[in-house]
Amino acid sequence: MENTREDRLFNTVIYLVLGLVLLIVLYPLVFVLSASFSEPQYIMNGEVLLWPKGLTLDSYTKIFEDGQIMRGFGNTLLYTTTGTLLNVIMTILAAYPLSRKDFVGRNLFMGLFVFTMFFSGGLIPTYILIKNLGLLNSFWVMILPGAVSIWNIIIMRTFFQQTIPGELEEAATIDGCTNMQILTRIVLPLSMPIIAVTILFYAVGHWNSFFNALLYLSDKSKFPLQLVLREILIQGQTDSLVKMSTESAIKQQRAVEGIKYAVLVLANLPMFLLYPFLQRYFVKGIMIGAIKG
């Protein structure tokens, strides 16, 4: 069927709008990347628009020489991998039983889970609970309070209900499989799209998390990268990166500008690298998991 003039005009408008949106989203990323490789004086003068100017690696050199930033990067990597692993395991162990029609009381448990999405104890009671549990200023305070997301349980449960045929589970039961064998040998291999989506959601959440660290951590050696980045961008704590005793105030300010952009690149690079590996599963998983619950 040949497109009419109105169809071609409509498609042109759509492409123009999408191109504009792409430009709005992409330009800040390109600018930050270019600024991180540019001489700080050009950044402060507003001369860096698209391409790096005065190409240099000084900002990255200062970052990798600074123990606090690299320690924060390592902490965030540890929090993200450990937390995501625990999150996915907990989500699967909760979602699979709730998807089984033969699980007595599943609607009651689902109702209790959903209740927690609308009502919480509040910030102060949560802090008191964390303190009484002895989790303050510990590794586990970044992992256990958010060990599972009810929203992700609902998405994964819906995926199991809509995608895994009940007859397949019944046949496996007749063959002598236990519930755990059905889960590990049949359900999980068929659920890679939703597992990839869940991993992505949890990993991005952990990587960008700083509020829990801000509330519960006082030892700077345990700070995640995002909290270190916050101190650099907001509080200007760059004394360990740029020494006033060896550089003038103007040079220090210029160096700080370059360091800010380099740290932003370092903080976001792992998530950019993660997306391509999970992209083929992402759309399929989120669409199937979004069907009626």
Strands (E), the chain: none
What DSSP character marks residue 209?
-
Give CA 147 to chain center in angstroms: 14
249-289 and 58-65 helices, crossing angle to 10°: 80
Residue 20 identity (one-letter amino acid): L
Q: Is 149 helix (H, G, I), strand (E, B) or coil?
A: coil
The highest-level CATH class for domain 59-289 is mainly alpha
- Measured CA to CA in angstroms, residue 224 lies from 67, 103, 240 at distances of 13, 40, 17
| Structure-derived torsion over alpha carbons of residues 20, 23, 26, 32, reported in degrees to the nearest 10 | -140
DSSP state of 244: T
At 262 the pLDDT is 84
The structure's pTM equals 0.77
Q: Looking at residue 287, what is its pLDDT?
A: 58
Q: Nearest CA to 37 among 57, 66, 20?
A: 57
Q: How is the chain split into domains, by residue range? A: 59-289
Distance in angstroms between the alpha carbons of the first and the last residue of the chain? 38
SS3 content of the chain, % helix, strand, coil (to 5): 75, 0, 25
pLDDT of residue 216: 92
Residues of the chain with pLDDT under 70: 1-2, 233-255, 278-293
Pair 148, 91: CB distance under 8 Å: yes
38, HSE (Cβ side, Cα atoms, 13 Å): 24
Report the alpha-carbon distance of residue 248 to residue 138 in Å, rounded.
39
What pLDDT, on the 0 to 100 scale, is given for residue 108?
92
Q: Which two tokens stand for residue 253?
A: 């300010």
Tell me what pLDDT residue 258 has: 77
How many CB atoms within 10 Å of residue 114?
A: 14
